[in-house]
Amino acid sequence: MGIHQSLLRGEVRVRGLSKSYSLNRNALSVLRDLDLDVNGGEILAIVGPSGCGKTTLLRILAGLETPDRGKVLIDGRPVAGVGRERAVIFQEPRLLPWLTVLDNVAFGLEVRGIPAAEGRERARHYLRLVGLARFEAAWPRQLSGGMAQRVGIARALTVRPGILLLDEPFGALDAMTKMTMQEELARIWREERVTMILVTHDLEEAIFLADRVLVLSKDSTDPARLIDVDLARPRDRSEPGFVAMRRRLMAEFGLH
Amino acid sequence: MTLQHLDTPPIPLSRDSAPGGSLLRRGAAVARHGLSRYGLLAGFLVLWQVASTMGWVSPAVLPPLDKIAAALWNGIASGALVDDIAISLQRSGIAFAGAVVLGIPLGLLMGQIPAVERALDPILQLFRQTSALALYPVFILLLGLGETSKVFVIFWATLFPVLLATIGGVKEVDGKLIEMARTYGASRLAVFRRVILPASVPSIFVGLRLSATTALLLLIAAEMIGANKGLGFQVMNAQYNFQIPLMFAAIFLLAALGLAANFVLVSLQNRLCRWAAPAR
Same domain, B30 and B129: no
A84 falls in which pLDDT band (50, 70, 90)? confident
Quick check: A161 contacting B, CB < 8 Å? no
Q: What is the mean pLDDT of residues B29-34?
A: 87
Task: Say what the pLDDT of residue B20 is.
Answer: 54
Q: What percent of chain A has pLDDT over 90?
A: 67
pLDDT at A147 over 50: yes
Distance in angstroms (rounded) separating the CA atoms of residues A1 and B124: 63
Return the closest-CA partner of residue B158 out of B120, B199, B207, B115.
B207
Same domain, B253 and B131: yes
Task: Say what the pLDDT of residue A9 is.
Answer: 76
Pairing of strands A163-167, A195-199: parallel
Task: Say what the pLDDT of residue B86 is.
Answer: 94
B246-266 burial code (b ≥16 CB/10 A, e <16)? bbbbbbebbeebeeebbeebb
Chain A residue with minimum CA distance to B6:
A177
B21 falls in which pLDDT band (50, 70, 90)? low
pLDDT at B46 over 70: yes
In a domain, B11, yes or no: no
In a domain, B183, yes or no: yes
Residue A94's alpha-carbon distances to A58, B64, B161, in angstroms, are 17, 58, 30
Same domain, B32 and B163: no
Task: Say what the pLDDT of residue B237 is.
Answer: 92
Lowest mean pLDDT among A19-33, A176-190, A199-213, B229-243: A19-33
A3 falls in which pLDDT band (50, 70, 90)? very low
Q: How far is B196 from chain A (nearest CA, A)?
A: 10
Task: Say what the pLDDT of residue A65 is.
Answer: 92
Q: What angle do CA B259, B262, B267 make, to 5 degrees?
A: 125
C-alpha neighbours within 13 Å on the C-beta side of residue A231: 25
Q: Which of residues 165-204 of A touch B (CB under 8 A)?
A: 176-177, 180-181, 184
Structural domain boundaries enclosing B40: 25-54
Q: How far is B168 from chain A (nearest CA, A)?
A: 19
pLDDT at A141 over 80: yes
Which residue in B1, B5, B7 has the most chain A C-beta atoms within 10 A of its own C-beta, making it the best mutation to test that interface? B7
A221 falls in which pLDDT band (50, 70, 90)? confident
Quick check: A13 contacting B, CB < 8 Å? no
pLDDT at A216 over 70: yes
pLDDT at B7 over 80: no
Same domain, B225 and B172: yes
B265 falls in which pLDDT band (50, 70, 90)? very high
Task: Say what the pLDDT of residue A256 is.
Answer: 58
In a domain, B266, yes or no: yes
Quick check: A140 contacting B, CB < 8 Å? yes
Residue A131's alpha-carbon distances to A136, A146, A154, B5, in angstroms, are 11, 12, 10, 11
Same domain, B50 and B70: no
Same domain, B95 and B32: no
Q: What is the DSSP string of chain B?
A: --GGGT---SS-S--PPPTT--HHHHHHHHHHHHHHHHHHHHHHHHHHHHHHHTTSS-TTTS--HHHHHHHHHHHHHHTHHHHHHHHHHHHHHHHHHHHHHHHHHHHHHHHH-HHHHHHHHHHHHHHHHS-HHHHHHHHHHHH-SSHHHHHHHHHHHHHHHHHHHHHHHHHTS-HHHHHHHHHTT--HHHHIIIIIHHHHHHHHHHHHHHHHHHHHHHHHHHHHHH-SSSHHHHHHHHHHTT-HHHHHHHHHHHHHHHHHHHHHHHHHHHHHTTTSPPP-
In a domain, A128, yes or no: no
Same domain, B36 and B146: no
Which residue in B2, B8, B173, B183 has the most chain A C-beta atoms within 10 A of its own C-beta, making it the best mutation to test that interface? B183
pLDDT at A7 over 80: no
In a domain, A75, yes or no: yes
Q: How far is A81 from chain B (nearest CA, A)?
A: 9
Contact A111 B180 (CB under 8 A): no
pLDDT at A6 over 50: no
For residue B79, is it left (φ>0), alpha (ψ between -120 and 50) or beta? left
Q: Out of A99, A112, A147, name the one closest to residue B184 (CB).
A: A112
Q: Could you tell me the strand order of the sheet in which A43-47 lies?
A: A86-89, A163-167, A195-199, A43-47, A212-215, A225-228
Residue A217 has a CB neighbour count (10 Å cut-off) of 16
Question: Which amino acid belongs to residue B51?
Answer: A
Q: Which of residues 58-117 of A touch B (CB under 8 A)?
A: 62-64, 82-84, 86-88, 90, 92, 94, 96-99, 107-108, 110-112
Q: What is the mean pLDDT of residues B146-174?
A: 95
pLDDT at A4 over 50: no
Contact B194 A143 (CB under 8 A): no
Which residue in A61, A79, A98 has the most chain B C-beta atoms within 10 A of its own C-beta, making it the best mutation to test that interface? A98
How many domains does chain A fold into? 1
Q: How far is A98 from chain B (nearest CA, A)?
A: 5
pLDDT at A202 over 60: yes
How many domains does chain B fold into? 2
Return the closest-CA partner of residue A100 out of A151, A170, A24, A26.
A151
Same domain, B76 and B39: no
Q: Out of B7, B180, B276, name the one closest to residue A147 (CB).
A: B7
In a domain, B238, yes or no: yes
Same domain, B180 and B48: no
Q: What is the mean pLDDT of residues B153-182?
A: 95
Same domain, B37 and B82: no
Computed over every residue of chain A, the mean pLDDT equals 89
Please state the ipTM of this predicted complex. 0.88
In a domain, B280, yes or no: no
Residues of B in contact with A149 (CB under 8 A): none
pLDDT at B5 over 70: no
For residue A225, is it left (φ>0), alpha (ψ between -120 and 50) or beta? beta
pLDDT at B176 over 50: yes
Q: What angle do CA A134, A139, A143 make, to 5 degrees?
A: 70
Q: How far is B170 from chain A (nearest CA, A)?
A: 15
Q: Out of A82, A92, A142, name the one closest to residue B182 (CB).
A: A82
Q: Out of B194, B274, B276, name the one closest to residue A111 (CB).
A: B194
In a domain, A124, yes or no: no
Same domain, B30 and B125: no
In a domain, A234, yes or no: yes
Q: Out of B7, B184, B190, name the one closest to residue A159 (CB).
A: B184
Residue A19 contacts residue A65 (beta carbons within 8 Å):
yes
Q: What is the mean pLDDT of residues B99-127?
A: 94
Give me the helix-helix angle, B197-226 and B231-240, nearest 10°.
30
Contact B4 A150 (CB under 8 A): no
The CATH number that applies at residue A205 is 3.40.50.300
Structural domain boundaries enclosing A41: 2-85+161-252
Domain boundary among B54, B74, B95: B54
Same domain, B87 and B32: no
In a domain, B70, yes or no: yes
Q: What angle do CA B266, B271, B274 make, to 5 degrees?
A: 110
The CATH number that applies at residue B98 is 1.10.3720.10
Q: What percent of chain A has pLDDT over 70?
A: 96
